[in-house]
């Protein structure tokens, strides 16, 4: 009986140690990590005089500016959303997913990363939007551009990724006495390759009178893990299984020993 108890204890120790090492090791899932990062920067504004003979210099007057950043994270028991309406940084992190935003005066960055160990329907959403109002002098054209650096890695077969960057502009203007509305949009979504640099650009021009408009620069990412991890046996269950095998092995060994003694007994 003492031998059987020793086998049980030893099997339980080995099973718990082996499973603890397996569950704690990141190498088993390191190849399935998903990462996304977008950096908006290098904003350039150029003005062009469309009528040099009108005596009006090309000019732009800047107005109200709005900045909006948001984070949404679902990871296990964590389900949280944060919003920031000014320059600054935010971050959220769960057991297996993390996301962050950094918004400055002329540079914005959003990042997120995750591991499919988070389980079914876990994911993150990040976004940064900046807009500014302006007034263009008559017969002034404005050329706008910005650089978007995108980086993404996806090694998880059950992950859905979405990325978007855009530069938009709108303007109300008077052309030959007629009020018109002009707009441009340079948008890139679900881009390939995964990592690339894009220059977003657009143009607006005022008519015979000063014209008011708005510029908006935005970036957003989201990913969702539709991942149903293969159930991993609990350490206690494996220990019980191995212990049962140990009991069977011990009982078999005792039967063999008993059979040997019976074979040499004299009558």
Render each residue's pLDDT in the chain as its tens digit; 267 residues.
Answer: 544 444 445 444 543 443 343 334 344 344 567 888 999 999 999 999 999 999 999 999 999 999 999 999 888 778 899 999 999 999 998 888 899 999 887 899 999 988 766 455 678 899 999 999 999 999 999 999 999 999 988 877 777 788 999 999 999 987 777 888 999 999 998 766 678 899 999 999 998 899 999 999 999 998 887 655 455 455 554 455 455 545 445 655 555 555 554 443 333
In a domain, 253, yes or no: no
Instruction: State the pTM of this model.
Output: 0.70
Cβ contacts of residue 119 below 8 Å, gap of 6+?
76, 225, 227, 228, 229
Strand partners, 80: 73
Strand partners, 179: 174
- Per the structure, the complete domain to which residue 125 belongs is given by 32-226
In a domain, 185, yes or no: yes
In a domain, 252, yes or no: no
Q: In what order do the strands lie in the sheet with 97-103?
A: 88-93, 97-103, 108-114, 34-49, 140-154, 196-205
Write down the pLDDT at residue 22.
Answer: 36
In a domain, 254, yes or no: no
In a domain, 36, yes or no: yes
Q: By the 8 A CB rule, do 70 and 83 touch?
A: yes
In a domain, 83, yes or no: yes
Output the CA torsion sign for 45, 46, 49, 55. positive
Write down the pLDDT at residue 116.
Answer: 61
* Domain count along the chain: 1
Write down the pLDDT at residue 140.
Answer: 95
In a domain, 143, yes or no: yes
Cβ contacts of residue 109 below 8 Å, gap of 6+?
37, 38, 39, 40, 101, 102, 128
Write down the pLDDT at residue 204.
Answer: 96
Write down the pLDDT at residue 159.
Answer: 76
* DSSP reduced 3-state for 107: coil
In a domain, 75, yes or no: yes
């Amino acid at each position: 009986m003492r031998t059987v108890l020793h086998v049980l204890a030893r099997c339980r120790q080995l099973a718990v140690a082996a499973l603890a090492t397996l569950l704690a090791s990141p190498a088993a899932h390191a190849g399935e990590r998903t990462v996304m990062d977008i950096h908006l920067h290098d904003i350039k504004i150029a003005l062009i005089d469309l009528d040099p003979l009108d005596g009006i210099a090309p000019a732009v007057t800047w107005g109200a500016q709005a900045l909006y950043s948001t984070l949404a994270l679902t990871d296990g028991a964590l389900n949280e959303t944060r919003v920031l309406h000014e320059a600054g940084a935010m971050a959220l992190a769960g057991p297996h997913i993390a996301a962050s935003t950094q918004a400055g005066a002329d540079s914005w960055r959003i990042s997120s990363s995750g591991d499919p160990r988070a389980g079914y329907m876990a994911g993150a959403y990040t976004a940064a939007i900046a807009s500014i109002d302006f007034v263009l002098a008559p017969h002034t054209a404005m050329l706008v551009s910005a650089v978007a650096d995108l980086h993404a890695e996806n090694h998880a077969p059950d992950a859905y990724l979405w990325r978007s960057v855009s530069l938009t502009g709108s303007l109300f203007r008077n052309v030959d006495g007629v009020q018109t509305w002009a707009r441009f949009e340079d948008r890139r979504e679900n881009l390939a390759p995964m990592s690339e640099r894009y220059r977003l650009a657009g143009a607006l021009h005022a008519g015979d009178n000063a014209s008011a408009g708005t510029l908006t620069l935005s970036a957003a990412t989201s990913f969702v893990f539709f991942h149903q991890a293969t159930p991993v046996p609990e350490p206690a269950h494996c220990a019980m299984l191995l212990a049962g095998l140990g009991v069977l092995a011990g009982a078999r060994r005792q039967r063999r020993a008993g059979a040997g003694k019976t074979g040499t007994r004299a009558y």
